[in-house]
Structure 1
Amino acid sequence: MFGGFAKSIFGSSNDRYVKSLNPTIAKIASFEPTLQAMSDAELAAQTPKFRERLASGTKLDDLLPEAFATVREAARRVLGQRHYDVQMVGGIVLHRGEIAEMRTGEGKTLVATLATYLNALPGKGVHVVTVNDYLASRDASWMSQVYGFLGLTTGVIIPNLTDEQRRDAYHSDITYGTNNEFGFDYLRDNMKYERSGMVQRPFNFAIVDEVDSILIDEARTPLIISGPTDDKSELYMQVHAVVRQFAAEDYEMDEKQKTIILTEDGTEKAERMLEAAGLLEGENLYDFENTQVVHHLNQALRANMMFKADTDYIVKDGKVVIIDEFTGRMMDGRRWSDGLHQAVEAKEGVQIEPENQTMASITFQNYFRMYPKIGGMTGTAATEAAEFYDIYKINVVSIPTNVPVQRVDEEDEFYKDTADKFRAIAKKIREHAEKGQPVLVGTVSIEKSELLSEFLVQEGVDHKVLNARFHEMEAHIVAQAGRKSAVTIATNMAGRGTDIQLGGNLEFRMSDEHPDLVAGTPEYDARAAEITREIAAEKAAVLAAGGLFVLGTERHESRRIDNQLRGRSGRQGDPGLSRFYLSLDDDLLRIFGPDTLFAKMMRNNMEDGEAIGSKWLTKAIETAQKKVEARNYDIRKQVVEYDDVMNDQRKVIYEQRSDIMDAETVGEMVEDMRAETVNIVVGEACPPNSYPEQWDVQGMKTRAAEVLNLDLPVEDWMAEEAIDPEIVQERVQAAADAAIADKAASLEPETWTQVEKSILLQHLDHHWKEHLSTLDALRQVVHLRAYAQKTPINEYKQEAFALFQRMLDNIREDVTRTIAHANFQFEAPTALPELPDFITTHFDPFTGEDNSADIDAGTRGFVTTQLPPMQIVRPESQDIGQDPAEWEGRVNRNAPCPCGSGRKYKHCHGAVGPA
């Protein structure tokens, strides 16, 4: 109570923080008259002056007021847009490495130019991260006009670029791109064999647009680069034969968590059957040696007990095809990961295709934490402020709107079931559309969008249905969703980055209705003036009807997504209305809601079609949402905890690779590895504090021949009286060094260095890949240690450390063995191997679809990189040619194949070998 009273008098801590920036805002404004008096050339000359001052020791913070004022003036001249004071507040927040929470329509894209320009001045590069390729290209094209005016270069990272194009984009002052592209480039760079092949520069500063979507929603799944692995078809069939013999009492299922575990009796039964099949090492299923077998057993259990034919998948043409749970459509070319797809193939008795093995992976949490400074912006971040601070150490600052919000947020309406609710929604939409009010309807899935569309057809309401697959097309339709009587149904992911302007959007109308007219011509200007008058008249009619009506068909798991939908209405002080319609059949209420006596009474006592509004029910919904948010946060936190273990190891491996690539010579590193290997070989045969007669002489000779390629006279050494392990080790070391020195002498020094580097990198990559596979399998089963009263994460850390130490020992021994046994019969330096065409995946946590190349998979197009202007090019058959041989490099590997088969290009005409 006292806290609320104090807040009403002194304001919240957020209000006080924003207020403390007022002196800086006033200082920025004080530079405006001087800058306005400058010519274009004088204004552009500010950039080299700022850079000179930085070189002489001035700090970025001291430059901020003048630099921000310069950007404001440049934007006014180039774009005709002058930053508001609240946008200046947003720019300061971004520069300080915090999250600016700004409502929809407040111009976040323009806000980013302030902090981007200032932080690009030192020349270390600034990354602006967007949620899809269309927005990356659009924003880069749009804002590069300001940066170019001030003498800075702009690049954009999109799919289908060559390494040279990527390198040029990363070496620009400012680089736009998606989180996927930035992350995959980092992973690919750390798989290259030469420093010159890497495209990224050291991390400096990143601004993340829609920061809640990227750092929270998409952070539930990691980025993965994978490649084909060994064929394990026989193992899948053997494990499937075991799983078929289980009865219902042998396992426990949790459908909500989608997990399945063996009971104690089931574990004993599994051990007996696996032992009989020759798949078990030792007697205990959960011994470390059986990690891979347990992983396959768990996946076979899920495939047989949880995944149903004709519901989760179908068998078509001898292949298992996944069915999208939201749309019911087949997803050709998509495969479940982690061996699950192979387990389903074994269950259905079809040909088992080799699984892909992880070559490199990283979570968004650990990728973005590598930036020394990171800022973010979104319309909704306050509800996740605790997570942003816990994971990324970033504060959230809520920035007031430029004009007070006039939108009315009405209480939720509850109905007995979905049919009643949708009938009421269709009637309500018709009422508002008839009076000229535009309606934006938000649904949680494509399936619900299509169902509502059927009800609207029955009501005779004209409408458009969108989903989140075609970003560029969506932008055009959502931009016109504010026109008189327009009804637009969209999933909650639709329309990101595009404002809904009441009356319509001039730019989009011109491009849609008059694509043949060229900007700047008299014909273009005349038609633009005519459309501008139409838009003004239409906007007046829409304002009179009450502005945009946002209607939610059900509550989302996260309050943040609901707020994003509501935020589409009421931009820049426009009037608006929002309301959510709910039923007891909604997933949120059904799975997570209160199964109370009150809910049962509602179901039994409500009449068909009856609606009720209740603050108690609204509160119950919010409580359910908080529960889900907390659960999802725990999932993401667990992902980070486990990836942190791998991240420490990843840093060691990647730093080792960088050291190898940068070193003029790696002879000392190879020599140290050889010394360690000799130490192990001798130590195994001659244990400390043992007598010579206890030594394993034959074992040492065998190991020396196998690993060091040496035939040692160990029997002669044993005849000496003063022999001891140290003397043996010195002699073995000297013999090994001499043998390698002879090999090195037969080649040019540069060639020998190239050989050593190549062997080091190849063995490092091979063992790291195997290590990742083992850690994946370990993570799948380590939670079972909880039954032994052990903490799974601690067990994972201990075993992962032991595995890492073992991997380093194996790398040393394999490098030593390869160099010792290799015969070199060439004169020219060996060419380092090229990276194959790996598979990149990042599964959307909501749809389960691979969005690693979203615009290409959605529009079957590619984005040009010439800035400005930006344009989307659609390579239809006449653009890319009829000959499939010409498609390589022009069609993204994740895009649908232009031949019309419905399969992804990489699985059709882009496949390696015959299509």
Structure 2
Amino acid sequence: MVAILKKIFGTKNERELKRIQPIVEKINSLEPSISGLSDSELRGMTDKFRERLERGETLDDLLPEAFAVVRETAKRRLGMRHFDVQLIGGVVLHEGKIAEMKTGEGKTLVATLPVYLNALDGRGVHVVTVNDYLARRDAQWMGPVYYHLGLSVGVIQHDASFLYDPEFRTEEKGFDRLRPCTRKEAYNADITYGTNNEFGFDYLRDNMKYEIEDYCQRELNYAIVDEVDSILIDEARTPLIISGPSEESTGKYYRIDKIIPKLKKDEDFTIDEKAKTAILTEEGSIKAEKLLGVENLFDPANIELVHHILQGLRAHHLYKRDVDYVVKNGQVIIVDEFTGRLMPGRRWSDGLHQAIEAKEGVKIESENQTLATITFQNYFRMYNKLAGMTGTADTEAEEFAKIYDLDVVVIPTNRPMIRKDYPDVIYKTEKAKFRAVIREIEDCYRRGQPVLVGTVSIEKSELLSKMLRQKKIPHSVLNAKYHDREAEIVAQAGRPGAVTIATNMAGRGTDIVLGGNPSGLIGEFLKGKQEPSEEDLKDALQKAEELCRRDRER
């Protein structure tokens, strides 16, 4: 019965696309007249739109013309024209829904449409990306469109903030046209790019201030979340915590750490790996009392000792080096379990971080107490309007609807899909799985087919790397340990015979072009030249483009 009704009325998704089609046709009908405008007239459209909003028109009334203006500006400034399917994606995002678009369909460009339209009322738009590199890249890439239309663009980073300024030049790689500014200035821009972590932490910091004029953020008006499934589902319950040091000695952690190896698993304590907890048995309690020289471990005066013993057991038996954390420059740095990225400055609370520092024999920092906390789920639900983009949202459509009241619309591809998506292959053991992976990589490498291998942790990527070295297969490893070269490595993952191993989020959002990325290869042709001239750079780019073109055609 359901199948018959779907045939008559179409699926919900088909009905949505059908409803949006007339809007797309209206935008297309405006293209000839908008194309005839001069650059200054195009820029003047922003002021006209704002005047119309003041006279009582709504953003929906302005949508066709505003989208047509952005499309024309992108054509002139970036050499990119929005396809019809990208216009559909823009409408979906403006309506506060999630647009599921396949990889490579141009989500970054799609966002310019609703971002411009919603920034017209001056209440601010936040574009949320998964890492600092993408926030900078997208602001620099799409900045010319917004700047030409008279809108300001801010960028929030972990330890800095910027405003997009085409006049500002710097030698520092990745920061060209980004003029340093205060955090407040970046948030006061019409459009602000940043990561989910930074937006969340700035909200918490603002809530710890005494004067409203000291706040950095404005009203949480409209946000577009890139890789929305990762941020709003996978990390939804991740708490953001701001903590301050408590006045306690660190000596107790070394004292506890010495007794942990003497306690035996299943005899003195039990471990729950799923809940990540440890519990002392009666025998374990008696043994701990003897080792610490206390009469009764559960006496109210010693209750803190019990807590630290349990944290020590967790540190030794549940938290693994190069999986949950890495030790770098004498510091224990947390690895984000969802993204495989290092999180410098972040610390586990309740003495766990100190217990791990004691286990690794590095300097113990004083314990922290929680001052402010919020989860991503609660933070993003405070926006007046929320939208998102990803390549994989339809599978979580029910959760998006239930938790965030967000509908998912699957946007068709611009051209027919020729990529084959094979079903998952299940193996009995991890060993068998990795052997099969290596065989597959070997086969592709021999045929010159580029391979990108996704892993869930640093440990697994290093294991695969070791197995490939044994087979003498050259490859690049991309995980939290090689953070800085991330985009560079991923951009060349499409070269013939390239083998790239990456943690699940490393390099996300970076374009992998078959044949390689010419701008990333320039360095190869400039080796040995200390200060290349303009002519050298031009020559190197030509050679790189030619090489990539030949490789792509192979």
Q: Determine if the TM-score, normalized by the shorter chain, exceeds 0.5.
A: yes
Residues 346, 74 of structure 1: alpha-carbon distance in 2 compared, 3 angstrom cutoff: closer
- Displacement after TM superposition at 1:420 (Å): 4.4
- Displacement after TM superposition at 1:217 (Å): 2.5
User: Partner of 1:225 in structure 2?
Assistant: 242
- Displacement after TM superposition at 1:354 (Å): 3.2
Per-residue CA shift, 1:743-798, capped at 9, x if unaligned?
xxxxxxxxxxxxxxxxxxxxxxxxxxxxxxxxxxxxxxxxxxxxxxxxxxxxxxxx
Residue segments in structure 1 that go unaligned for 5+ positions in a row: 282-292, 314-321, 542-915
From 422, 428, 436, the equivalent of 1:410 is 422
* Percent identity of equivalent pairs: 55
User: Is 2:547 the counterpart of 1:534?
Assistant: yes
Whether the aligned pair in 1 keeps the contact of 2:270 and 2:280 (CA below 8 Å) is yes
- Displacement after TM superposition at 1:224 (Å): 1.5
Per-residue CA shift, 1:260-309, capped at 9, x if unaligned?
45789999999xx999679539xxxxxxxxxxx867634523424x443x
Whether the aligned pair in 2 keeps the contact of 1:260 and 1:298 (CA below 8 Å) is no
| 3-state secondary structure, aligned to 2:467 | helix
Whether the aligned pair in 1 keeps the contact of 2:125 and 2:192 (CA below 8 Å) is yes
Whether the aligned pair in 2 keeps the contact of 1:471 and 1:495 (CA below 8 Å) is no
Whether the aligned pair in 2 keeps the contact of 1:113 and 1:143 (CA below 8 Å) is yes
- Displacement after TM superposition at 1:539 (Å): 1.4
- Displacement after TM superposition at 1:258 (Å): 1.9
Per-residue CA shift, 1:509-556, capped at 9, x if unaligned?
346645989999666555544433432332121xxxxxxxxxxxxxxx
TM-score when normalising by structure 1: 0.51
- Displacement after TM superposition at 1:345 (Å): 8.0
User: Is 2:271 the counterpart of 1:258?
Assistant: no
Residues 164, 156 of structure 1: alpha-carbon distance in 2 compared, 3 angstrom cutoff: closer
The residue type equivalent to 1:191 in the other structure is M
Per-residue CA shift, 1:121-159, capped at 9, x if unaligned?
011111111111111111111111000111111111113
Per-residue CA shift, 1:404-456, capped at 9, x if unaligned?
21112334445554444444433332322222221222222222222222332
The residue type equivalent to 1:534 in the other structure is L
User: Partner of 1:607 in structure 2?
Assistant: none
C-alpha distance in structure 2 between counterparts of 1:65 and 1:266, whole Å:
71
Whether the aligned pair in 1 keeps the contact of 2:240 and 2:373 (CA below 8 Å) is yes
C-alpha distance in structure 2 between counterparts of 1:414 and 1:279, whole Å:
51
C-alpha distance in structure 2 between counterparts of 1:242 and 1:477, whole Å:
44
The residue type equivalent to 1:395 in the other structure is D
Whether the aligned pair in 1 keeps the contact of 2:495 and 2:514 (CA below 8 Å) is yes
C-alpha distance in structure 1 between counterparts of 2:507 and 2:373, whole Å:
30
- Displacement after TM superposition at 1:344 (Å): 7.0
- Displacement after TM superposition at 1:117 (Å): 0.2
- Displacement after TM superposition at 1:240 (Å): 10
- Displacement after TM superposition at 1:23 (Å): 0.5
1:200-215 paired onto structure 2 within 5 Å: 200-215=217-232
Residues 6, 513 of structure 1: alpha-carbon distance in 2 compared, 3 angstrom cutoff: farther
Whether the aligned pair in 1 keeps the contact of 2:323 and 2:458 (CA below 8 Å) is no
Whether the aligned pair in 2 keeps the contact of 1:238 and 1:277 (CA below 8 Å) is no
The residue type equivalent to 1:257 in the other structure is A
Per-residue CA shift, 1:641-678, capped at 9, x if unaligned?
xxxxxxxxxxxxxxxxxxxxxxxxxxxxxxxxxxxxxx
Whether the aligned pair in 2 keeps the contact of 1:60 and 1:118 (CA below 8 Å) is yes
- Displacement after TM superposition at 1:246 (Å): 11
| 3-state secondary structure, aligned to 1:91 | helix
C-alpha distance in structure 1 between counterparts of 2:460 and 2:535, whole Å:
46
User: Partner of 1:425 in structure 2?
Assistant: 437
User: Partner of 1:338 in structure 2?
Assistant: 350
Whether the aligned pair in 1 keeps the contact of 2:107 and 2:389 (CA below 8 Å) is yes
User: Partner of 1:792 in structure 2?
Assistant: none
Whether the aligned pair in 2 keeps the contact of 1:250 and 1:265 (CA below 8 Å) is yes
Residues 527, 261 of structure 1: alpha-carbon distance in 2 compared, 3 angstrom cutoff: closer
C-alpha distance in structure 2 between counterparts of 1:518 and 1:11, whole Å:
62
Residues 512, 372 of structure 1: alpha-carbon distance in 2 compared, 3 angstrom cutoff: farther
- Displacement after TM superposition at 1:213 (Å): 1.8
C-alpha distance in structure 1 between counterparts of 2:204 and 2:36, whole Å:
48
C-alpha distance in structure 2 between counterparts of 1:480 and 1:539, whole Å:
12
| 3-state secondary structure, aligned to 2:244 | strand
Whether the aligned pair in 2 keeps the contact of 1:239 and 1:297 (CA below 8 Å) is no
C-alpha distance in structure 2 between counterparts of 1:436 and 1:226, whole Å:
51
- Displacement after TM superposition at 1:28 (Å): 0.7
Larger radius of gyration: 1
From 271, 275, 300, the equivalent of 1:280 is 300
User: Partner of 2:413 in structure 1?
Assistant: 401
The residue type equivalent to 2:322 in the other structure is D
Residues 493, 295 of structure 1: alpha-carbon distance in 2 compared, 3 angstrom cutoff: farther
| 3-state secondary structure, aligned to 1:482 | coil
C-alpha distance in structure 1 between counterparts of 2:307 and 2:318, whole Å:
18
| 3-state secondary structure, aligned to 2:350 | coil
C-alpha distance in structure 1 between counterparts of 2:481 and 2:263, whole Å:
42
Per-residue CA shift, 1:170-212, capped at 9, x if unaligned?
1111111111221222222222343333222122111111112
The residue type equivalent to 1:500 in the other structure is I
- Displacement after TM superposition at 1:360 (Å): 1.5
C-alpha distance in structure 2 between counterparts of 1:456 and 1:277, whole Å:
51
From 138, 161, 169, the equivalent of 2:186 is 169
User: Is 2:56 the counterpart of 1:57?
Assistant: yes
The residue type equivalent to 2:502 in the other structure is A
User: Partner of 2:403 in structure 1?
Assistant: 391
C-alpha distance in structure 2 between counterparts of 1:427 and 1:241, whole Å:
45
User: Partner of 1:216 in structure 2?
Assistant: 233
1:86-165 paired onto structure 2 within 5 Å: 86-161=85-160, 165=182
Per-residue CA shift, 1:542-579, capped at 9, x if unaligned?
xxxxxxxxxxxxxxxxxxxxxxxxxxxxxxxxxxxxxx
Residues 264, 66 of structure 1: alpha-carbon distance in 2 compared, 3 angstrom cutoff: farther
- Displacement after TM superposition at 1:104 (Å): 0.7
C-alpha distance in structure 2 between counterparts of 1:373 and 1:39, whole Å:
33
| 3-state secondary structure, aligned to 1:409 | coil
| 3-state secondary structure, aligned to 1:473 | helix
| 3-state secondary structure, aligned to 2:420 | strand
User: Is 2:379 the counterpart of 1:367?
Assistant: yes
Residues 180, 351 of structure 1: alpha-carbon distance in 2 compared, 3 angstrom cutoff: closer
- Displacement after TM superposition at 1:374 (Å): 1.1
Residues 84, 231 of structure 1: alpha-carbon distance in 2 compared, 3 angstrom cutoff: same
| 3-state secondary structure, aligned to 2:235 | helix
Whether the aligned pair in 1 keeps the contact of 2:438 and 2:468 (CA below 8 Å) is yes
The residue type equivalent to 2:415 in the other structure is V
Bigger proportion of residues as strand? 2
The residue type equivalent to 1:231 in the other structure is E
TM-score when normalising by structure 2: 0.82
Whether the aligned pair in 1 keeps the contact of 2:237 and 2:377 (CA below 8 Å) is no
User: Is 2:207 the counterpart of 1:190?
Assistant: yes
Per-residue CA shift, 1:612-660, capped at 9, x if unaligned?
xxxxxxxxxxxxxxxxxxxxxxxxxxxxxxxxxxxxxxxxxxxxxxxxx
Whether the aligned pair in 2 keeps the contact of 1:225 and 1:359 (CA below 8 Å) is yes
Residues 235, 329 of structure 1: alpha-carbon distance in 2 compared, 3 angstrom cutoff: closer
User: Partner of 1:28 in structure 2?
Assistant: 27
User: Partner of 2:474 in structure 1?
Assistant: 462
Whether the aligned pair in 1 keeps the contact of 2:525 and 2:540 (CA below 8 Å) is no
User: Is 2:343 the counterpart of 1:325?
Assistant: no
User: Is 2:505 the counterpart of 1:493?
Assistant: yes
Whether the aligned pair in 1 keeps the contact of 2:297 and 2:305 (CA below 8 Å) is no
C-alpha distance in structure 2 between counterparts of 1:63 and 1:168, whole Å:
28
Residues 396, 299 of structure 1: alpha-carbon distance in 2 compared, 3 angstrom cutoff: farther
User: Is 2:195 the counterpart of 1:178?
Assistant: yes
C-alpha distance in structure 1 between counterparts of 2:382 and 2:211, whole Å:
22
C-alpha distance in structure 2 between counterparts of 1:155 and 1:76, whole Å:
23
C-alpha distance in structure 1 between counterparts of 2:141 and 2:440, whole Å:
39
What value does the CA root-mean-square deviation take over the aligned residues? 3.9
User: Partner of 2:491 in structure 1?
Assistant: 479
Per-residue CA shift, 1:57-105, capped at 9, x if unaligned?
0000110010001000000000000001111111111111111111110
User: Partner of 1:505 in structure 2?
Assistant: 517
| 3-state secondary structure, aligned to 1:476 | helix
